[in-house]
Amino acid sequence: MASTLLSLAFLLLIVHGPRGTLATLWLIAREALRVVAVGTVAFLPVALGAWALGAAGWHVLGAALGLAAFALLVRAALPEHRALVARLAEPLAQRLRTSRNMPQA
C-alpha cells in the first residue's frame, strides 16, 4: 500500500507540481478519514459487543449489523460518496438486469 501511495504522490508531483500535489494529497486524506470515521462509528460498537459476548456467532451478527449501520450512515453522512458508488455500479447493474431478461437456450 505504501508503494501505491508513493506512486500516486510521484505522479501527482509530475502532473501538478509541488503545490498541487500537497493540495490533492490533503483532499484524498480528508476524504479517506471521513470514510474511516463513518466506519468506526458503524463497526466499533458492534465489534466491542461481539468481543464482550465472545462466541463466533456474535461476531457474524456484529459484522452484519455493522454493515447495515455503515450503509445507513454512508447514505446520511456521505451522500456524494454514495452517489459516486451508484454511478460506478450502474453499468454492472444494467448488465445483470439484461442477462436475467434474456431467454435461456
Q: Is the pLDDT reported for residue 11 higher than 60?
A: yes
Name residue 50's amino acid.
Answer: A
H or E element, residue 15: helix 2-53
pLDDT score recorded for residue 102: 67
Average pLDDT, the chain: 88
Q: State pLDDT tens for residues 49-85.
A: 888 988 788 889 989 999 999 999 999 999 999 899 8
Per-residue b/e over 82-91, b at no fewer than 16 CB within 10 Å? eeeeeeeeee
Domain ranges of the chain: 2-101
Quote the pTM value.
0.71
For residue 104, pLDDT beyond 70? no
pLDDT bracket for residue 103 (50, 70, 90): low
